[in-house]
Chain A
Amino acid sequence: MPRDDRASCLDATTTGMALSVTAEVGRLLEALAASGQPGAVDLRSLPLTDADRQQLQDLLGRGEVRADLELAGRSEVWETAYPGVWWIRHLAADDRIASEEIAVCPVPEILQAHPDDIRAGARRLSQDLAALQAPAAPVPGDTNQETTHV
């Protein structure tokens, strides 16, 4: 059988891995619920066929949250039907999957704003507001400018 045909046959076959991964996710979710300990499963390191991947998506379903990120290529994050279980898929510039994992946590780190960024954002916003509120400098020689005295 030609190599490409063998590969497509394999991709269409379920191997039972989806059930195993779901069981592992269940164990991690119990740990998160009991102790707050986050966990993750790296899907790229597992021998999943395309059919396995689809079965795993069907088993975990879709929840209420979905986020698309533009970070040197697209990234997709969605919460599964089980709160605390997140599917994170990073795509390379050519839209191939570069890394894919299931994160078990309240909110994936990649969605959270880092405290340093929050501080930098606060500083920037304050500067922007100050710039907006500052009176515009008069343009020399512009006789059309109105001056208001209070």
Chain B
Amino acid sequence: MSDKNAAARGPVTAANKTLGEALSDRGVSRRTFLKFASYTASIMALPPTAATAIAQGLANARRQSVIWLSFQECTGCTESITRAGTPSIEDLIFDFISLDYHHTLQNASGHLAELAREQAMEENKGEYLVIVDGSVPLKDDGVYSTIAGMTNLQMLQDTVRNAKAVISVGSCAAFGGIPGANPNPTGAVPISDLVTGKPLITKLSPNQTDIAENARRCIEAGSDAFAVINTLMGMAIDIESRTPHIGNNQGGLSGPAIKPIALLKVHQVYQVARDHGIPIIGQGGVTTPNDAIEFLLAGATAVGVGTALFYDPLVLPKINRGIGEYLERHGLSRVSELTGAMRLNTQRPAQQCGC
């Protein structure tokens, strides 16, 4: 639970405390925390020696700093998030993230609100997330929407400069929405038109009818890369109580079960993306080097691993080693030589069986 960066991060405040420091304040000792980590390692079927790594990692974890900017919008996106169930908004802002700036939800107002935004940017330089809802007006120097004397464009540029990532929420931020509808009197544009210095990775859901067509539309809208796929929606039922196992009734299914679907989706998206040089991060059930190679052959440039890390936190070097061995065995020098290298079977006419 030691934090080597403690000096670099300045005075410890409630918002930037690590989990270890917050627990210590509540009287949870380091040994109790280690005991909890032992349970967790055992429950997750991790090697017992992983308990120390879990305790260390969790103890030094800090709530993610989030700055939420609202521009030309109707507050519907905020309305939606306040009605979230898993996790609820209060769980989210008290336990998971540090929501340092949000017009509707923050307590501070006026210059103190702006001070909170500036402080969050300074204390979490390069690490904070920016979430934007609403479009940005550009016509007439952006006078149609201003906050604290700044146009939306000025505030956006100022805030995203040292952000780790920018997330557009809702159709106004993503596509211009109603403010951007013809005749678009304020010259409203989506965030992706303005924040061009950061790569835009679009995660494509498998829960749609034509993933290739939607990939094409995303490319037109400015996507720089795709992550394929997200989880599939699923359900599990406890037959004794006759209720769903998951509190939310339904949930995202991940892991090896979805790999065949993910491979097909990567292959389909690749047919559209390759002509534009748009890379794909293939993901969905990758647990072995062979899985990763399958995704590369289907058209992925990189491979994402999620569920497998719960079973073996050290699986990544094993996958990398396995890919290296495959390249060597096949006389290849670069992973990129595998991207989209699958040869499709040519369909043969059905043979008569003669019976």
Q: Is the CB of B35 within 8 A of A110?
A: yes
Question: By the criterion CB–CB under 8 Å, are B49 and A39 in contact?
Answer: yes
Q: Is the CB of B31 within 8 A of A71?
A: yes
Tell me whether A41 is interfacial, beta carbon within 8 Å.
yes
From A99, A101, A115, residue with most partner B Cβ within 10 Å: A99
Give the most central of B1, B2, B30, B45: most A CB within 10 Å: B30
Inter-chain contacts of B36 with A (CB < 8 A):
72
Q: Is B186 an interface residue (CB 8 A)?
A: no
Number of residues on chain A facing chain B (CB within 8 A) = 23
For A90, the chain B residues whose CB sits under 8 A away are 35, 38-39
Q: Mark B110-142, 1 if CB is under 8 A from A, else 0.
A: 000000000000000000000000000000000
A70 to B41, CA, bound (A): 20
Residues of B within 8 A of A88 (CB): 38
Quick one: which of A99-126 are within 8 Å of B by CB?
99, 101, 103, 109-110, 114-117
Q: Contacts A45-B42, A71-B35: A117 and B49 contacting too (C-beta < 8 A)?
A: no
CB of A69 within 8 Å of the partner chain: yes
Contact partner, A40, options B30, B45, B47, Cβ 8 Å: B47
Does B271 lie at the interface of the complex (its beta carbon under 8 Å from any beta carbon of A)? no
State the majority secondary structure of interface residues on B. helix
Q: Which residues of A contact B209 (CB under 8 A)?
A: none
**Closest CB in chain B relative to A105 CB, distance in Å:** 10
Is B219 close to A, CB under 8 A? Answer: no
Are the C-beta atoms of B32 and A99 separated by less than 8 Å?
no
The residue of chain A having its C-beta at the shortest distance from the C-beta of B45 within the complex is A45
Given contacts A44-B42, A116-B1, contact A101 B35 (CB under 8 A): no
Which B residues are CB-close (under 8 A) to A44? 42
Question: Please, which residue of chain A has its CB at the minimum distance from the CB of B2?
Answer: A116
Within 8 A of B (CB), among A64-119: 69, 71-72, 75, 88, 90, 98-99, 101, 103, 109-110, 114-117
Report B1-51 residues with CB < 8 Å from chain A CB.
1-2, 29-32, 34-36, 38-39, 41-42, 45, 47-49
Which of chain A's residues has its CB closest to B29's CB?
A71
A99 to B49, CA, bound (A): 13
Contact with A along B323-351 (1 / 0, CB 8 A): 00000000000000000000000000000
Is A128 an interface position by the 8 A CB rule? no
How many B residues face the partner with a CB closer than 8 A? Answer: 18
Give A110 to B30 CA distance when docked, in angstroms: 9
Give 1 or 0 for each of A25-56: 1 = CB within 8 Å of chain B CB. Answer: 00000000000001111101100000000000
A88 to B31, CA, bound (A): 13
Closest beta carbon of chain B to A103's beta carbon, Å: 7
B52 interface hit (Cβ, 8 Å): yes
For A42, give its contact among B31, B32, B47 (CB under 8 Å).
B47
Closest Cβ of chain B: how far from A63's Cβ, in Å? Answer: 20
Question: Could you name 17 residue pairs across A and B whose Cβ atoms are closer than 8 Å?
Answer: A41-B48, A42-B41, A71-B29, A71-B35, A72-B36, A90-B35, A90-B39, A98-B39, A99-B38, A101-B38, A101-B48, A103-B48, A109-B34, A110-B34, A110-B38, A114-B30, A116-B30
Given A42-B42, A45-B42, A72-B36, list of 6 further CB < 8 A pairs?
A: A39-B49, A40-B49, A71-B35, A109-B34, A109-B52, A114-B1
B interface list, Cβ under 8 A from A: 1-2, 29-32, 34-36, 38-39, 41-42, 45, 47-49, 52
